[in-house]
Amino acid sequence: MKHQLSALRLVRDQDAQEEGLRELESAVLIYDAVSKTGNEVLDTVLTEKSLLCEKNGISWTCMADGGLLDFMQPVDLYTLFGNALDNAIESSQGIDEPEQRTVAVAVRNRHGAAFIQIENYYTQPIRLQDGLPLTTKPDAENHGYGMKSIRSITERYGGVMDIATEDNIFRLNILIPIPA
């Protein structure tokens, strides 16, 4: 980036300079999107999803202590967060009000357990069956497995999962005991 800035100072063509600035801004956004939670797998999925939010005009907030999740298998970690965040992003894309196009992620220690919370606004009614939201996709036979997978992973680690909906905010809460 330092070299790009130096080169841009020498460019006299206004259009070329603008294009160079756009490329530099894009590089800065990618750098800003990189998550550093202390867990490489979590960093990968969070960075990927934050860039997806940026691309789709969705506000992203994340406060995560990824080291709390070091005991989890990488595929479980990626599957849990990947499914949860894909759902949150998809729901946010359908919202017209820019201030409600948000996804918030938190991972913190709560009394010796990893507490994971993912929040987003929603507009379509949410129907629950067995404590899980039913898919809103027309092809229900081939969809709706993400939340089941999240619950299965949570339970495999001795945790509990809860879904709360209030004031058009969807909250996925997961509590997983941290092994001694």
DSSP string, the chain: -HHHHHHHHH---HHHHHHHHHHHHHHHHHHHH---SS-HHHHHHHHHHHHHHHHTT-EEEEEE-GGGGTTS-HHHHHHHHHHHHHHHHHHHHT--SGGG-EEEEEEEEETTEEEEEEEEE--S---EETTEEPP-SS-GGG--HHHHHHHHHHHHTT-EEEEEEETTEEEEEEEEEPP-
Q: From residue 55, how far is each of 60, 122, 168 by CA, in Å?
A: 11, 19, 23
Task: Give 7's pLDDT tier (boundaries 50, 70, 90).
Answer: low
Is residue 119's pLDDT more than 70?
yes
Contact 121, 100 (CB under 8 A): yes
Cα within 13 Å of Cα(141), Cβ side = 0
Q: Report pLDDT digits (tens) over 74-111.
A: 999 999 999 999 999 999 998 999 999 999 999 999 99
Q: Report pLDDT digits (tens) over 137-174.
A: 566 555 557 899 999 999 999 999 999 999 999 999 99
Measured CA to CA, the distance from residue 122 to residue 124 in angstroms comes to: 6
Residue 86 is predicted with a pLDDT of 95
Is residue 39's pLDDT more than 90?
yes
Q: Which two tokens stand for residue 74?
A: 């990488």
Is residue 70's pLDDT more than 60?
yes
Is residue 32's pLDDT more than 80?
no
